[in-house]
Amino acid sequence: MKDLQAPYPVSEAEQGFFRERGYIKLKNVLPPELIDRYRNEITRVVLERNPLLQKPMSERTTYEKAFVQVTNLWRQNEVVREFVFSEKLAGIAAQLMGVRGVRLYHDQALYKEPSGGITPWHADQYYWPLSNPNTCTVWVPLQATPLPLGPLAFSSRSHTVEIGRGLAISDESEQLIQESLAAQNFEYDEGPFDLGEVSYHYGWTFHRAGPNVSDIPRAVMTIIYMEDGIKVTDLTREEHHADRDAFLPGTKTGDPAATEMNPLLYRT
Ligand SMILES: O=C(O)CCC(=O)C(=O)O
């Protein structure tokens, strides 16, 4: 699968866009045949792990309605591991953030089912006990994703503000962060994704997604990168404990975030 390893030079304009706005969408990063192959395998793992699919939508919380979430698929499936270890995707992350190397924080599949709800406004790094802002996620839709499927949407430049960073994904975060971003006149970038198009966003960029009002699942794979050398911080939120145990096992405050769960995926 050379398309997963081929270098993808990121232009200075693209790096500037990402660092100023906190996100970027890039077209034609992955070819359709490659996405088909990995979609089948990723979907198989999601169905095997089946975390929520039995629970009726009407009985779920807002978080549970947003998506079925399965993490660290690379640990259980060799084919998905090839995808998560893509040097192309990791190299783009390193170039965008302007760092020499990136490690894996974790991967996750996010399937928004038909009739799945909104993904409320949030910033991911709320959950992560990591010592600096050089973290980002690549969001890879596994089909073309027009508005009815609930593509990821971003608040441009919002990684620069601290208001709202203390809110977990919830009805409250949707309302309060929306009000705060509107008051600051940040641009809202909500658009479809073509097949092969992917986005990257910083851990502190506020983002959300609409509901899935189509009749097919919105299948998405994500990979979360952190700068090589980033450290584990104090666990100041309840959620930090779960993340440290799951994704940084055995570490304590001040340790490098570099366990066997966090392989180096790219280095210049
Ligand atoms: O896929 C979604 O609806 C949300 C994705 C997200 O929040 C993320 O990848 O950080």
206-236 pLDDT per residue, tens: 999 999 999 999 999 999 999 999 999 999 9
Give the residue whose CA is nearest to atom 10 of ligand 1: 124
| pLDDT exceeds 70 at position 3 | yes
Indicate the class that CATH gives domain 2-248: mainly beta
Question: What SS3 string covers 237-255?
Answer: CHHHHHHHHHHCCCCCCCC
Tell whether ligand 1 has an atom less than 6 A from the beta carbon of residue 23.
Answer: no
Under 8 Å between Cβ of 220 and 195: no
Tell whether ligand 1 has an atom less than 6 A from the beta carbon of residue 186.
Answer: no
| Percent of the chain whose predicted confidence (pLDDT) is above 90 | 96
82-131 pLDDT per residue, tens: 999 999 999 999 999 999 999 999 999 999 999 999 999 999 999 999 99
CA distance 163 to 176: 9
Spell out the domain ranges in the chain.
2-248
CA of 152 to the centre of ligand 1 (A): 6
Residues whose CB falls within 8 Å of the CB of residue 179, separated by 6 or more in sequence, listed in order: none
